[in-house]
């Protein structure tokens, strides 16, 4: 899929925004289950790390696309 041009950037912004909202919605919806699993320890010790990496990746992609779409770029 070609993501060049303004249309591709907006499309990727919307997709990453929906992905970010979905991840946050899942975390909110299953908060009690996740807290119960993480409090058990043992085989679930990795769960907070995986959640943090997933949220960081998805939300970071959305944020980068947002700034790119409004024309703010980092200095090279």
CA distance 21 to 61: 12
Q: Is the pLDDT of residue 1 over 60?
A: no
Task: Encode 49-65: b = buried (16+ Cβ within 10 Å), e = exposed.
Answer: eeeeeeeeebbebbeeb
Global pTM reads 0.76
Q: Is the pLDDT of residue 17 over 80?
A: yes
Averaged pLDDT, 34-39: 90
Q: What is the largest CA-CA distance in the chain?
A: 48
């Amino acid at each position: 899929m070609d993501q060049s041009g303004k249309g591709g950037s907006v499309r990727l912004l919307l997709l990453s925004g929906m992905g970010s909202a979905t991840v946050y919605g899942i975390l909110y919806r299953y908060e009690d289950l996740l807290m119960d699993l993480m409090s058990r320890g043992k085989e679930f010790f990795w769960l907070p790390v995986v959640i943090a990496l997933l949220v960081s990746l998805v939300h970071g992609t959305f944020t980068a696309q947002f700034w790119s779409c409004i024309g703010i770029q980092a200095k090279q």
